[in-house]
Every structure is written in structure tokens, then in C-alpha cells.
Amino acid sequence: MNILLVERDSVFRSNMARVLAEYHAVEIAENAEMGFQIVLERDIHIIITGHQFGMGMGGAEFSLEIKRYINRKIFIILTSELVEPLPHGADRFISQPFDAEILLEIITDLMKNQKVAC
């Protein structure tokens, strides 16, 4: 399964990519623009992104923009903020800090629900 990780924090991005790469193919992007280009060019199953990117568009806006073009993508948004359940096309919000094993379980469950090969 192919995962796109869109995260502005380089340390978090690197650590998370390392954990995910043990089980899945991982593409990384440091902002929404780069992430959008990767989604258009590659077969991505799940997109994991932060809720806020700082400058420009955030995770929720990014998910809406992607789903305007490709609705079948699964979005997991990582957030340290209290967010209403599943707005903006997100399939799941995960509060930070979080356990990487829980994230991996959520990925597996979402893929089973979408009937995509893990």
C-alpha cells in the first residue's frame, strides 16, 4: 500500500516516514503543493497530514482540494487541536501525541473498510 505523508516539520516527517516504511511504501512531502503533485503522479492509497501547515493551506483544506479531483483517497489528519468529527473529507482525525502502533492499526482498519490490499 502506498502512503503519502505531508508534514512541514522535518524531524517529525522523517521519524514518521521511518515507522511507516517498515510496513508500507511511503512518499513524503513538506507542503500541500508538493503533496498534491505526488497524488496526481502516483498511486497513493492513504494520505496522512497535519491539521495545520502554518503558511498556506491546512490538512482539512488539502483533503477537500484532493477530493475535488480524486475522491477515493483515504485521509488521516494528525492534530493537537480539538476538531469536530470528520469534517472536510477526513476519514479519521488522530490527536497528537499518538502511539505509532495505533496509527498503523488505524491504517489497516481503514484499508480493510475500503477493501484495498494492505
pLDDT per residue over 14-39, tens digit each?
998 999 999 999 999 988 889 889 98
With a CB cutoff of 8 Å and minimum separation 6, the contacts of 50 are 6, 7, 8, 9, 58, 59, 77, 78, 79
The C-alpha atoms of residue 34 and residue 29 are separated, in whole angstroms, by 5
Architecture per CATH, domain 2-97, reads as 3-Layer(aba) Sandwich (3.40)
Decide if 48 contacts 3 (C-beta within 8 A). Answer: yes
Domain residue ranges in the chain: 2-97
Entry pTM: 0.79
- As given in the structure block, the three cell numbers for residue 55 are 503558511
User: Of 58 and 92, which is predicted with more confidence?
Assistant: 92
Is the pLDDT at 118 greater than 50, yes or no?
no
To 10 degrees, what angle do helices 100-114 and 10-21 make?
Answer: 60
Distances (CA, A) of 109 to 80, 106, 116: 22, 5, 10
Which run of H or of E encompasses 4?
A: strand 2-6
